């Protein structure tokens, strides 16, 4: 069986290689010649745990090309970006992919769309383009099978997560199911095409709204003078409450974008767009905290630790760091960035020591595990101040070295400091928040982990 995968990005490439490693003959197609050349010369265009080994396993049955040819199954995994000006989906890549398949489509072929799209896109946009050569739907098969893998654990999740298969008709659904059963070990749920499109958007919107709630709680906690991290840990002890983690904003190619796909044709939505606004305003909030703490400092320099959109990955798509940096530079701050995971970034990336040298405020934006073990003693900052927007650092270690530590949502009041002065650690970050708050409980019941975080996710 020959499978042609269109789009060799973070979803298309791992999917293509999984099929090839499980015995299918796979042609991967990408419009970027550099991606095609890179793969045909034995290297990968991006990093993802386990992908290198999978590539070696799949190599014999995989080839990259710039254009599709004939195949039994066509799988579209191209980007569907958001037009930032209109907040409407840009379906141009999906349209081009469908147009490039049409001349090669034969009766009995199956076309799968994995790209995330607004509800109705398959029927209104993709299928009519595939029919252009004269073969009507019904003579070829079609299904929407949205991907659900999270960057950083893509391969594991692609194999183990459950899948939604939304076929145009019964035959399409069953055929697509048998194709995914080649490597998917998770449960497969069948539905129709439009429901599958809707379900995918609901999933990411649900996460976005819940993160927005956590972010709003963090700001309210700051106003109320309580530590949101402790409060969330305690609230999550309720059997039906599961609050997510506040942070400097939501990035990535999915959660920051997909909610708009759900609402782009609606006149009724308020909650979904409000959640987007809350999450998009988090870089502003972090900068607001910085601004207050650095008021009066001359030529202030900010060191950013972590520009990736989340922890332990090198992906910067839609990262809140972009907005934070632009806002900060517009206000005259000098910015120095460090991220051990990220290769390319529009702002120069330097090593940890250079990023911290002469800094007036370190701001942690990405929750990379390696930041937990940073030794603050070695950092040659000008002002010993750190804002941990992810609650990831070992705060005791930093306060022991004389740093004032401020955690996003820790409830410490945002006060104006006289020029050049640093607020004493106790006023900025109360270690009360991590005290054993119920010493009389049996030791097996741990209320807070050593740095005040619980297992929220
Ligand atoms: N974030 C928070 N607080 C949290 C959790 C996440 O601020 O408690 C932030 C992260 O730092 C990041 C953003 O949200 O900036 C999104 O990260 P994520 O880990 O929640 O999600 P993604 O975008 O990496 O992957 C999501 C996943 N969807 C869901 O969890 C519902 C994944 O399963 C999807 O396959 C993927 O979107 C996609 O492709 O749609």
Q: What is the pLDDT of residues 150-183, one digit of tens each?
A: 988 999 999 999 999 999 999 999 999 999 999 9
Q: Looking at 95, 133, 145, 254, which residue is catalytic? A: 254
Say whether pLDDT at 134 is over 50.
yes
Continuous segment of H or E residues that includes residue 199:
helix 193-224
**What pLDDT score was predicted for residue 151?**
87
Cα–chain center distance at 344: 17
Q: What lines the ligand 1 site, CB under 6 Å?
A: 116, 147-151, 203-204, 207, 211, 244-245, 247, 250-252, 254-255, 309-310
E strand or H helix that includes residue 93:
helix 92-101
Q: Which helix (H) or strand (E) element contains residue 39?
A: helix 33-40
Nearest CA to ligand 1 atom 3: 245
Query: Is residue 419 pLDDT above 80, yes or no?
Result: no
Q: What is the DSSP letter of 431?
A: G
Distance in angstroms (rounded) separating the CA atoms of residues 197 and 308: 28
Structure tokens belonging to residue 156: 């594991």
Whole-angstrom distance, CA of residue 175 vs CA of residue 193: 14
Dig out the tokens for 249 from the structure: 């904003």
pLDDT more than 70, % of the chain: 90
Does 72 have pLDDT greater than 90?
Answer: yes
pLDDT for residue 12 is more than 50? yes
| Pair 62, 2: CB distance under 8 Å | no
Residue (of 9, 17, 70) closest to 34 by Cα position: 9
pLDDT level of residue 447 (50, 70, 90 thresholds):
very low
Catalytic-residue membership of 87: no
| Percentage of the chain modeled with pLDDT above 90 | 87
Question: pLDDT tens across 366-407, in order?
Answer: 999 999 999 999 999 999 999 999 999 999 999 999 999 999
User: Region 185-192: what's the mean pLDDT?
Assistant: 98
Q: How many CB atoms lie within 10 A of CB 405?
A: 24
Q: How far is the CA of 326 from the centre of ligand 1 (A)?
A: 23
What average pLDDT does the structure give for the chain?
A: 91
Tell me which of 145, 200, 310, 361 is the catalytic residue.
Answer: 200
Question: 328 and 290 in contact (C-beta within 8 Å)?
Answer: yes
CA distance 179 to 65: 22
């Amino acid at each position: 069986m020959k499978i042609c995968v269109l789009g060799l990005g973070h979803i298309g490439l791992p999917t293509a290689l999984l099929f090839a490693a499980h015995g299918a003959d796979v042609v991967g197609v990408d419009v970027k010649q550099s991606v095609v050349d890179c793969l045909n010369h034995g290297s990968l265009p991006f990093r993802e745990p386990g992908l290198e080994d999978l590539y070696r396993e799949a190599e014999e049955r995989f080839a990259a090309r710039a254009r599709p040819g004939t195949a039994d199954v066509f799988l579209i995994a191209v980007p569907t970006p958001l037009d930032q000006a209109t907040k409407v989906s840009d379906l141009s890549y999906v349209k081009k992919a469908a147009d490039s398949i049409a001349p090669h489509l034969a009766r009995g072929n199956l076309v799968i769309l994995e790209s995330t799209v607004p509800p109705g896109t398959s029927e209104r946009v993709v299928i009519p383009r595939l029919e252009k050569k004269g073969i009507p739907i019904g003579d070829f098969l079609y299904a929407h099978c949205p991907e659900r893998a999270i960057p950083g654990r893509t391969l594991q999740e692609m194999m183990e997560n459950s899948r939604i298969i939304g076929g145009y008709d019964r035959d399409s659904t069953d055929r697509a199911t048998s194709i995914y059963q080649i490597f998917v070990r998770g449960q497969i749920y069948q539905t129709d095409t439009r429901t599958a499109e809707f379900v995918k958007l609901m999933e990411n919107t649900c996460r976005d709204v819940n993160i927005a709630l956590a972010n709003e709680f963090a700001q309210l906690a700051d106003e109320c003078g309580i530590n949101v991290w402790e409060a969330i840990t305690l609230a999550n002890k309720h059997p039906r409450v599961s609050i997510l983690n506040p942070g400097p904003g939501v990035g990535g190619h999915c959660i920051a974008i997909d909610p708009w796909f759900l609402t782009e044709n609606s006149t009724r939505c308020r909650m979904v767009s409000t959640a987007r606004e809350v999450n998009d305003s988090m870089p502003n909030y972090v900068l607001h905290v910085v601004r207050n703490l650095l008021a009066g400092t001359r030529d202030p320099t900010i060191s950013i630790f972590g520009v990736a959109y989340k922890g332990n990955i090198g992906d910067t798509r839609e990262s809140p760091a972009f907005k934070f940096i632009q806002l900060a530079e517009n206000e005259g701050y000098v910015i120095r960035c460090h991220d051990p995971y990220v290769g390319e970034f529009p702002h120069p990336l330097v090593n940890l020591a250079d990023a911290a040298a002469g800094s007036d405020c370190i701001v942690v934006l990405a929750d990379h595990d390696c930041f937990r073990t940073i030794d603050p003693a070695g950092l040659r900052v000008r002002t010993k101040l750190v804002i941990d927007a992810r609650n990831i650092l070992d705060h005791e270690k930093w306060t022991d070295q004389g740093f004032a530590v401020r955690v996003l949502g820790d409830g410490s009041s945002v006060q104006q400091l006289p020029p050049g002065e640093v607020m004493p650690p106790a006023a900025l970050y109360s270690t009360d928040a991590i005290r054993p708050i119920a010493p009389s409980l049996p030791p097996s019941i741990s209320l807070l982990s050593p740095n005040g975080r619980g297992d929220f996710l």
